[in-house]
Structure 1
Amino acid sequence: MSMDFATLEALRLRHPAWRLLRSDHAPLMASFLHRAFVAPNVRVMAAADLAEALEDELFALRERLGPDAFPRSAIQYLDDWASPEKGWLRKFYTLGSDEPQFDLTPATEKAIAWLTTLAARSFVGTESRLLTLFELLKQMSEGSEADPEKRVAELRKRRDAIDLEIEQVLAGDVPLLDDTALRDRFQQFMQLARELLTDFREVEHNFRTLDRRVRERIALWEGSKGALLEDIMGERDAIADSDQGRSFRAFWDFLMSSRRQEELSELLARVLELPPVAELRPDARTRRVHYDWLEAGEHTQRTVARLSQQLRRFLDDQAWLENRRIMDILHGIETKALALRETQPTGEIMAIAATAAEIELPMERPLHRPAMKPLIADIELETGEADVDASALYSQVVVDKARLARHVRNALQERSQVTLRELIDAQPLQRGLAELVAYLELGRAPLKVVIDEASPEVISWQAIGRDGAGCTRRARMPRVTFVRG
């Protein structure tokens, strides 16, 4: 990017991240959005939950700063932050739901990430960054070398260095990293881990931008349908084959390997137990940072798949409408042909609409007629005495499927599969049979369910009988196993 005055002035006026930093409410937004989205790695949050959390934040600030601080309601602030003029939040609706959802925009996360770098650091490491830069240059140089002799010479050089290191270790000379080097490398690891989570939102935003461009092209297309389909399929291939698409696919394939996940878990556990690293007091989520990568990448994968599905449905709808119009025309022609088969008409068979314009004078239109207002008599209402059992209004059972899905995902983070009985033993049923049926409805991506009819299991739970006493109910059913998708 050019750092001239005109470019920076345009960024100051138009870029959402710069506008956020200039806002009077920047401390409120940065602190709240960091705690709500960035720190727990939350990608999407319902409007009701986010407004409730912000209302608690505003209440605490008004108690400390006075009742006149932040006079508007939480939902008004959220709608203002998500407006096109601000662009700090993305407000959208998911398929099959009428409740709005909120997510951070890449510009907001960049601003928050920059603010976290302003705090003074007691230790600034430079060795690990230099080694990383040197290793990247080596990979680029070796990866672009087409001469086989030079490639073989470099590989032999690395082999000789490894053999020499093996001989030194066998001789008792084991070089170890000192405490400073360990802290330096761990600090560099944590910075790259946070930046990787930040990059996911920008990748997802770029995918949505490319998809929106394709939809605009469909809406404005005036050529043939074949040329449109060819152009669209080429655009979808361009999304998948772009630099971001190929890089994201390589990252996803690497991380989805169960062997890589186990290796990352072992390495993280071993490094976090080192005394120099423990002195830095790393965040508790560091131990499962690779699962945060996996969750963020999975959300991006679902977004790309959903965009492709919506585009395919849009094309199917367009084709269906065109075919429907053609079939209606053909059906009308067939109907008239059958009507004329037996009796040939002598007069006019069909007419073409007149080519002249019809003139409608303004005074020919009817005048406005006000709607009749109903007259409500002032009659005193009497209380009815219907003998109705109102207990049914309070006996509704609501099962929180999101809580059940989180329970299954948490169990699958440590294991590749888990049975329904093990899940219920760890977290007993609270809503009885209704909650058991809700577990069976979770067999969708990314969760996969395997049912073994040959291995029945008995699942029991505590309930309240008709007499009001506690009892144990049991359900005999095939073994149900949740497998990581």
Structure 2
Amino acid sequence: MSFDFFTLKTYRANHPAWRLLCSDHAPLIVSFLHKSFIEPNERLMEESRLSEMLEDTLFQLREQLGEKAFPKTAKEYLNDWAATENAWLRKFYKTGSDEAQFDLMPATEKAISWLNQLASRQFVGTESRLLTLFNLLKDIRQGSELTPEKRIAELEKQKYEIEQEIAKVRAGELFLLDDTAVKERFLQFSQGAKELLSDFREVEHNFRQLDTKVRRQIALWEGSKGELLAEIMGERDAISDSDQGRSFRAFWDFLLSQQRQQEFSELLEHILSLPAIRSLHSDLQQHIHYDWLEAGEHTQRTVAQLSQQLRHFLDDKAWLENRRIMEIFRSIESKVFELSEDTIRGDAMNLNEAKIELALPMERPLYAPVQKMQLENTILELGAENLADAQALFQQSRVDKTQLIQHIRQSLRTESQISLQKIIENRPLEQGLAELVSYLQLDQQPYFKLVIDEEHQEKISWQSGNKIRNAVLPKIIFTK
């Protein structure tokens, strides 16, 4: 980026992040969007839910600043923030839904991230950053070395250093990081983990820009369809083969590895249990890699939806071309009828039928043999009277999921996470298996998240009449 006067002037006038920082309502916009999207790692929010949250925020601010502080309604503010001249939010409609959806734009997240860096930090770590830079240079040199002898020499050097360290450990000489070094490295990891989440929105935004470019290209294309498809596939391959595309694909493959996920969970659980890390009161969640996975899946779904919409767009283009062909056929027919015997005398050719019939082989249906219906002369006999007790039909029970949600939220007020087994111990199942299954259906809630730990199992028991029923299932954890 060039930092000359006119470039910065253009950025100040046109870049959404700079316009957000210059806005009179920047404190309201940044604080609300940070609380609504970034803190809970929300990718999409419905208009009704987001406007309700903004209405509560405006009500609280008006009580403190006066009724005239923010005169507009919540929906009006959301529409202003999503307008083209601001572009701080993206407003769109899902396929098959008539309710608007909102998502945070990458430029808005960059502005919020920059403001977050203005806050005073506990301390500025320099050692860990220097070591990270040093290790990156070593990785680049080792990964780009073409001479086998030099690479073997470097590996032998690493082997010697590892053997020396093993010898020191066996002799009782343990090198441990002090609390300052542990905090420094963890804060650097925490910052990188949050920045990685924001990168997904920028990757998704880049794919949307590619989709817009391709749609414009299709609408203005005047050549053949084969050349158009070759051009589109070339653009798609260019994105996939770019540095960003290859990096995202390598990251996604690494994240989908079950072994890597388990190793990452064990490392993070161990580090968060250290006294030096607990004293930081870090807001980094223990399942941050699951947030990465969720954000990555959302990006992949967005790319799939764009591909499907592009296919429909191409189909519509083909339909318009076919419609143009039919209009040409009808114009030919009308010209033939105008050349009737009353208007043309002399050498004229008579047409038996002024219509072009098209019969393509692939449009003909396959042969299907006719199935003959077999009729049987069966004499109906009078059946026995049904002596079953129908009282069980009137003894059906309904599980109130609202009460289950309230109980989970009350349990999470004092703890950051709680298992399903502990919840049922505090409040035993009253409706048996039906109530247990209802707990498992509470995975799409705005107040908490449901995480399944496949590596561990838990046993849940409940009273059913005079018997004790047991169920063994993977460990279910509810987190904030």
Tell me the alpha carbon deviations over residues 146-192 of structure 1, each in whole angstroms, 9 at most, x when there is no partner: 11211111111111111111111112111111111000000001110
Deviation (angstroms), 1:252:
0.6
> Counterpart of 1:232?
232
Contact 2:401–2:438 (Cα < 8 Å) also in 1: no
> Counterpart of 2:99?
99
The yes-or-no answer on 1:7 pairing with 2:17 is: no
Give the 3 Å change call, closer, same or farther, for CA 231–423 of structure 1 in structure 2. Answer: farther
Deviation (angstroms), 1:244:
1.4
> Counterpart of 2:391?
none
Give the 3 Å change call, closer, same or farther, for CA 231–273 of structure 1 in structure 2. Answer: same
> Counterpart of 1:472?
none
> Counterpart of 1:80?
80
> Counterpart of 1:171?
171
Aligned counterparts of 1:423 and 1:119: Cα–Cα separation in 2:
50
Give the 3 Å change call, closer, same or farther, for CA 334–70 of structure 1 in structure 2. Answer: closer
Aligned counterparts of 1:214 and 1:316: Cα–Cα separation in 2:
14
Give the 3 Å change call, closer, same or farther, for CA 427–27 of structure 1 in structure 2. Answer: farther
1:39-438 matches, cutoff 5 A:
39-283=39-283, 285-323=284-322, 326=325, 425-428=435-438
Aligned counterparts of 2:439 and 2:177: Cα–Cα separation in 1:
50
Deviation (angstroms), 1:316:
2.8
Q: Give, as a single letter, the amino acid of the residue that structure 2 aligns with 1:133.
A: L
Q: Give, as a single letter, the amino acid of the residue that structure 1 aligns with 2:12.
A: R
> How many residue pairs end up in the alignment?
370
Q: Give, as a single letter, the amino acid of the residue that structure 2 aligns with 1:206.
A: N
Deviation (angstroms), 1:12:
1.2
Give the 3 Å change call, closer, same or farther, for CA 398–101 of structure 1 in structure 2. Answer: farther
Q: Give, as a single letter, the amino acid of the residue that structure 2 aligns with 1:161.
A: E
Deviation (angstroms), 1:398:
13
Give the 3 Å change call, closer, same or farther, for CA 171–67 of structure 1 in structure 2. Answer: same
Aligned counterparts of 1:6 and 1:48: Cα–Cα separation in 2:
42
Aligned counterparts of 2:314 and 2:25: Cα–Cα separation in 1:
44
Aligned counterparts of 2:161 and 2:310: Cα–Cα separation in 1:
54
Aligned counterparts of 1:31 and 1:202: Cα–Cα separation in 2:
21
Percent identical: 62
Q: Give, as a single letter, the amino acid of the residue that structure 1 aligns with 2:285.
A: T
Partner SS, residue 122 of structure 2: coil
Tell me the alpha carbon deviations over residues 19-39 of structure 1, each in whole angstroms, 9 at most, x when there is no partner: 111111000001000000000
> Counterpart of 2:428?
none
Aligned counterparts of 1:43 and 1:208: Cα–Cα separation in 2:
15
Aligned counterparts of 2:237 and 2:276: Cα–Cα separation in 1:
48
Deviation (angstroms), 1:335:
13
Deviation (angstroms), 1:259:
0.9
Q: Give, as a single letter, the amino acid of the residue that structure 2 aligns with 1:6.
A: F
Aligned counterparts of 1:157 and 1:149: Cα–Cα separation in 2:
12
Q: Give, as a single letter, the amino acid of the residue that structure 1 aligns with 2:205.
A: H
Give the RMSD, CA atoms, in angstroms. Answer: 3.7
Partner SS, residue 293 of structure 2: helix
Q: Give, as a single letter, the amino acid of the residue that structure 1 aligns with 2:16.
A: P
Deviation (angstroms), 1:274:
0.2
Aligned counterparts of 1:422 and 1:101: Cα–Cα separation in 2:
38
Give the 3 Å change call, closer, same or farther, for CA 14–277 of structure 1 in structure 2. Answer: same
Q: Give, as a single letter, the amino acid of the residue that structure 1 aligns with 2:438.
A: P
Deviation (angstroms), 1:199:
1.1
Partner SS, residue 318 of structure 1: helix
